[in-house]
Amino acid sequence: MPIVNNVTRLLDARKIPYTAYELSAEKHGAQETARLLGVDPASIFKTIVVLRGKPKKPLLTLVPGDSTVDLKALASALDEKKVHLPTEKEAERITGLQAGGISPLALLNKGFQFVIDSSAQKFTEIHISGGQRGLNIKLPLGDLVKLTNARLEAVSKLIDSP
C-alpha cells in the first residue's frame, strides 16, 4: 500500500505527475537516498531551512544532494546582508516536520519563500522529500517551481570530498 499524506494528496488534486519512493523511515541523507534509488545525487534535492538577519522570516532552500547551501550566494541573491542556518531542532520547530522529512510541498501556504538551486535546471524531474521520513517524491521541476513560486538561483556549492 503506497504512502498517502498531504503531499501526495496535493499532487493528486493538482494532477501533477509524480513517482513516490518508499524507503525505511530512519533519516537518510541525500547521498544515501541517491544510492538506494540508484540515481545521480545531484538530482536529489534536500530542503534546508535558512533564517534571514531581519526580518527573521525563514525560507526554504533546495540544494542538490552532493552540495551544501552557499550562504553568501543566497544572501546576495535575496539582497540580504546575512543569512544563517538554524540548528536541526530549530528547523524542526519552525517547520513542524522532522529533519529528513522537511518538504517544500508540505509547507505551502505557511509563509515560506522558496529558492531552488539553479543546477536543478539540468533535470526535467528532481527528487524531494515527501513530507515525512522514508518518502521520496520525483516530480517535474516546472511543476515544483509553479507550486512553490520558487526562485531559481545559484545558491549551492559542492561538498568537499575527503
Residue 1: per-residue pLDDT: 59
Domains in the chain, number: 1
How far apart are alpha carbons 54 and 12 in whole angstroms?
37
Neighbour-count burial for 13-31, b at 16+ CB within 10 Å, e otherwise: eeebebebbeeeeeebebe
Kind and range of the H or E element at 148? Answer: helix 141-148
| CB distance 88 to 63 below 8 Å | no
Cα dihedral angle (12, 17, 21, 22), rounded to 10 degrees? 0
84-121 residue pLDDT tens? 999 999 999 999 998 888 999 999 989 899 999 999 99
Whole-prediction pTM value? 0.92
Quote the domain boundaries for residue 62: 41-114+140-162
Q: Is residue 104 part of a domain?
A: yes
Query: pLDDT tens for residues 92-101?
Result: 999 999 888 8
CATH number of 74's domain:
3.90.960.10
